[in-house]
Structure 1
Amino acid sequence: MRFVTAASGLALALLMCTTLPAHADAPAQSRQQIEKVVEKFRLAIVNKDKDNFMKLFLREDITWAAAYEDASLDRIMARRTNKALPRPKKIVGGSPREFIDDIAKATEPLEETFENVRIDADEDVAQVWFDYSFKAGDYRENWGKEAWHLVRTEDGWKIASVIWSMKLNPNPPPAAGAK
Structure 2
Amino acid sequence: MNIIRWVSRLDKIALPAPWGATNLGKMMRMKKLIGTLVLLVLFNLAALAQTEETNIKEVIEHLFRGMQLGDSSMVRSVFHKEVTMATVYRNRENAIVLRRESSIEDFVKSVGTPRADALNEEIWDLTIQRDGDFAQAWCDYAFYIGKKFSHCGVDAFHLFKTENGWKIFHLADTRRSTNCTIPPAIGNKYKN
The CA distance in 2 between the partners of 1:140 and 1:21, in whole Å, is 44
Counterpart for residue 184 of structure 2: none
Instruction: Let me know the Cα RMSD of the aligned residues.
Output: 2.6
The CA distance in 1 between the partners of 2:174 and 2:159, in whole Å, is 19
Q: Is residue 2:32 matched to residue 1:32? A: no
Q: 1:55, CA displacement in angstroms?
A: 1.1
TM-score (norm 2): 0.65
Q: What stretches of structure 1 of length at least 5 have no aligned partner?
A: 1-13, 76-86, 171-179
Q: Is residue 2:91 matched to residue 1:91? A: no
The CA distance in 1 between the partners of 2:48 and 2:92, in whole Å, is 43
Counterpart for residue 67 of structure 2: 45
Counterpart for residue 150 of structure 1: 159
Instruction: Give secondary structure in 2 for the equivalent of 1:168.
Output: coil
Q: 1:154, CA displacement in angstroms?
A: 0.9
Aligned residues: 143
2:138 to 107, 129, 137: 129
Q: 4+ residue stretches of structure 1 with deviation over 6 A?
A: none
Q: 1:52, CA displacement in angstroms?
A: 1.5
Q: What stretches of structure 2 of length at least 5 have no aligned partner?
A: 1-33, 180-192
**One-letter code aligned to 1:44:** G
Counterpart for residue 128 of structure 2: 119
Bigger Rg over Cα = 2
Q: 1:32, CA displacement in angstroms?
A: 1.1
Residues 123, 21 of structure 1: alpha-carbon distance in 2 compared, 3 angstrom cutoff = farther
Instruction: Please show how residues 51-70 of structure 1 align to structure 2 within 5 Å.
Output: 51-59=73-81, 61-68=82-89, 70=90
Q: 1:97, CA displacement in angstroms?
A: 2.5
Counterpart for residue 82 of structure 1: none
The CA distance in 1 between the partners of 2:43 and 2:163, in whole Å, is 22
Q: 1:157, CA displacement in angstroms?
A: 0.7
Structure ranking higher on relative contact order (CA contacts 8 Å, 6+ apart): 1
TM-score (norm 1): 0.70
